[in-house]
Amino acid sequence: MPTLSEVAQLAGVTAATVSNVLRHRGRVGAETRQRVLDAVKTLGYRPHLAARALAEGRAPTIALMVSSIDNPFYPEFALAVERAARESGHFVIVCNTNEDPATGRAYLDQIAGTLSEGVLVTNANLDFADLHKTEARGAPVVLCMWERPQEPPGLHCVAVDFRRAGELAGAHLVELGHRRIGAIVGSKVSGIHAARYAGFVDALHAAGLDAPAARLRQAPDSVQGGYAAARELLEADPGITAIFASNDLPALGALHAAADLGREVPRDLSVTGITDIKPAREARPALTTVAVRTAEAAELAVGLLRDLLAAAPDYEGAARTAPRVLVVPEPRLVVRGSTGVAPMRE
Amino acid sequence: MPTLSEVAQLAGVTAATVSNVLRHRGRVGAETRQRVLDAVKTLGYRPHLAARALAEGRAPTIALMVSSIDNPFYPEFALAVERAARESGHFVIVCNTNEDPATGRAYLDQIAGTLSEGVLVTNANLDFADLHKTEARGAPVVLCMWERPQEPPGLHCVAVDFRRAGELAGAHLVELGHRRIGAIVGSKVSGIHAARYAGFVDALHAAGLDAPAARLRQAPDSVQGGYAAARELLEADPGITAIFASNDLPALGALHAAADLGREVPRDLSVTGITDIKPAREARPALTTVAVRTAEAAELAVGLLRDLLAAAPDYEGAARTAPRVLVVPEPRLVVRGSTGVAPMRE
DNA sequence: ATGAAAGCGCTAACAC
DNA sequence: GTGTTAGCGCTTTCAT
């Protein structure tokens, strides 16, 4: 692979000039510029990104920490991140923590600040202490999809009003006449989704309904998890006419459980999710859910990271600003086939 | 961030020694080693990967080119790639081409050989010419999930016997007594899946059946694509009792089409896919499909890339070996709920 | 408008 | 065993 100085030699100039031409820096004579450009072309020169990273003191990559791309949400998010990152010339290194803090720490220790200039974190079960350490070392960290805008995490973040999302789903079910509504929320490991449930409960309260613990189940963030929880709920209390799930995957599982229990959706049972991942649109019936603007969240996160990077090139010490919180525009209800008016009381 | 020489200074040695300690190279006195290790710890030193990459002439990353992580296959594959890559100390940069050759080219031009030392390519609709150019520049390329082991692409690759996969699916349907079987294969853009269809046809022929063009449809590799194609097939010829889809996503779409047309699966209609992606296991009924060993393919691909890298550090010119073809162990039929014995003729 | 020179943080010969 | 010396390919002041 040709180097800068080879190009320089061919063009009869010095490496500095070639660099200037390529980076549109400094003033270069029109004719010289042309010679350089020609040399670049004939040699097929391409800048060596690692060398540039070293010289500039910053690598053109960002690390995206995810818990497991096994969950369809992450690829969707990653896609949006990559698109946004590319606009600022960044490549995305995907780091799968598998929900294991040690793996996450290993990733952070290795690349943050040395091979990637910033870090984006989705719910990857990382130690906040590790994230702070990473920041302290000079690599900005942005938390994505933070659940509680009102309760900043002490790190830069992009937050989604998930309480509101839960409220929208709850209100929708209430409006349809449902009175006995089961709820499935995340488990300890998949994130408890307290804000989402709180919003749901708010909606019930607003309608004078209560949300007894007997109608609440925790489940992993998966189809299977939701399936099991929904079965439990429905078997324990056949009077339940609707299920609120704090995430789409478990909601999809609830759909399956309903089918297996001989309950037709939405005639006998309504189901709602939160997020609006692709499989929600493809389910039968398609899932009514509260859409979270994933792509916008990704763009905000990348933008925030870029701001932080620009504000403080080495980002050390006092240059660090107070944690910033960006809120993703309000989630919105998407009514599809999985919800309908509550069946008549008998 | 502390540097090598800061560590060296603190330990009262020179940078070279610290490097040796850290890389377990050369002979270093036990006591010195300890002093160095202490210094590393107190300073919280971490090697600067970009600097190391420059000095070593190779970056610790590989690029994974995918068409769009929108399709659940890619995340599953990417996950396996990342796992395997980590074992050889590589990070994975995900490059989404969106099926656009120009985007792919831009990615290759930028990172191959400069920020990533090798490239893994899934069906990303890249120009082979671009891939060859990349190889010529010194960055090995491995094609993943090549469709026809018998027909090497002129590049290193990991191949899957998809013809065999099609044959397994076809034979399964034939055995169940199906005689009029519709087929849905990939479209031009999503890959035509000729080998898979050929295998399917072989299975029919082996049973003395034919596969008329009237029972063949092309569709994009998506649920919607499969849905539309299946509807067409079923409406054009209601006598069809089974559908062979060359991929899981369209097969899932066929399941939906059956439901909409009032045909119960598997009683009135059987459906098969190929790959065994996660949504296939989660569908209702679960999809009968031919499982392709995705994780193994990923491991083989990463292993092959590593071999190529080891064989020829700069990988230029004559060092390049003849294209190697690794075949993923035979695909296997996974019978689930979407297939059953053919309905009686009336 | 262009060149000279220093240096980013690390590795790798080779010398002592 | 440990230090010295060159770079890796690029960017970036600072002269000219």
Q: Residue ranges per domain, chain B? A: 4-47, 56-139+294-327, 162-292
Distance of CA A225 to the CA centre of its chain: 21
Of B125 and A244, which is predicted with more confidence? A244
Instruction: Give residue B192's pLDDT.
Output: 85
- Write out chain B residues lying below 8 Å of A336, CB-based: none
Instruction: Give residue A318's pLDDT.
Output: 43
Q: Residue B109 is encoded by which pair of tokens? A: 């031009």
pLDDT grade, residue A313 (50/70/90)?
A: low
pLDDT grade, residue B313 (50/70/90)?
A: low
How far apart, in whole angstroms, are the C-alpha atoms of residue B257 and residue B232? 9
Residue A320 has pLDDT above 70, yes or no: no
pLDDT grade, residue B319 (50/70/90)?
A: very low
Percent of chain A with pLDDT over 90: 88
Residue A203 has pLDDT above 90, yes or no: yes
Which of the 8 DSSP states describes residue B67? S
Average pLDDT in chain B = 94
Instruction: Give residue B314's pLDDT.
Output: 56
Place of tokens 């045909």: B263
Dihedral over alpha carbons A276, A277, A283, A288 (to 10 degrees): -10
Instruction: Please give the average per-residue pLDDT across A307-324, as a whole number.
Output: 71
Q: Confirm whether A4-47 and A162-292 share one CATH topology.
A: no
Instruction: Please give the average per-residue pLDDT across B257-278, as a whole number.
Output: 97
Q: Is the C-alpha dihedral spanning A227, B246, B70, A331 positive or negative? A: negative
Residue B151 touches chain A, beta carbons under 8 Å: no
A207 SS3 class? coil
Distance A34 CA to D2 C1' (A): 50
> Taking phi first (over 0 means left), then psi (-120 to 50 degrees means alpha), and beta for anything else, what does residue A238 get?
alpha
Percent of chain A with pLDDT over 70: 97
**What would the CATH number be for the domain defined by B56-139+294-327?**
3.40.50.2300
Inspect the interface and report whether the beta carbons of A70 and B60 lie closer than 8 Å.
no
How far apart, in whole angstroms, are the C-alpha atoms of residue B254 and residue B248? 10
Residue A80 touches chain B, beta carbons under 8 Å: no
Average pLDDT in chain A = 94
Question: Which alpha helices (DSSP H) does chain A contain, by range?
Answer: 4-11, 15-23, 30-43, 49-56, 73-87, 101-111, 128-136, 162-175, 194-206, 223-236, 248-260, 278-282, 294-311
Write out pLDDT tens, residues A32-76: 999 999 999 999 999 999 999 999 999 999 999 999 877 899 999
Write out pLDDT tens, residues B101-135: 999 999 999 999 999 999 999 988 899 999 999 99
Write out pLDDT tens, residues B220-249: 999 999 999 999 999 999 999 999 999 999
- Asked if the peptide bond before residue B75 counts as cis, ω within 30 degrees of 0, the response is no
Q: Which CATH superfamily is domain A4-47 in?
A: lambda repressor-like DNA-binding domains (1.10.260.40)
- Percentage helix, strand, coil for chain B under 3-state DSSP, each rounded to 5: 45, 15, 40
Residue B318 has pLDDT above 70, yes or no: no
Question: Which alpha helices (DSSP H) does chain B contain, by range?
Answer: 4-11, 15-23, 30-43, 49-56, 73-87, 101-111, 128-136, 162-175, 194-206, 223-236, 248-260, 278-282, 294-311
pLDDT grade, residue B69 (50/70/90)?
A: confident
CB A61 within 8 A of CB A115: yes
Q: Chain A residue closest to B103 (CA)?
A: A86
Inspect the interface and report whether the beta carbons of B115 and A53 lie closer than 8 Å.
yes
Instruction: Please give the average per-residue pLDDT across B304-315, as a whole number.
Output: 81
Instruction: Please give the average per-residue pLDDT across B322-326, as a whole number.
Output: 94
Inspect the interface and report whether the beta carbons of B93 and A93 lie closer than 8 Å.
yes
Nucleotides of C under 7 A from a protein CB: 1-5, 7-14
Q: Is B162-292 CATH 3.40.50.2300?
A: yes
β-bridge pairing A118-121 and A61-66: parallel
Instruction: Give residue B123's pLDDT.
Output: 86
Residue A61 touches chain B, beta carbons under 8 Å: yes
Instruction: Give residue A123's pLDDT.
Output: 86
Q: Residue B241 is encoded by which pair of tokens? A: 């009792």
Q: In this complex, which of A72, A93, A278 lies closest to B92 when CB atoms are compared?
A: A93
Q: Chain A residue closest to B89 (CA)?
A: A110
CB A144 within 8 A of CB A157: yes
pLDDT grade, residue A214 (50/70/90)?
A: very high
A112 SS3 class? strand
Residue A346 has pLDDT above 70, yes or no: no
Instruction: Please give the average per-residue pLDDT across A145-170, as a whole number.
Output: 95
Radius of gyration of the CA atoms of chain B, in A: 25
- Write out chain A residues lying below 8 Å of B70, CB-based: 75-76, 79, 278
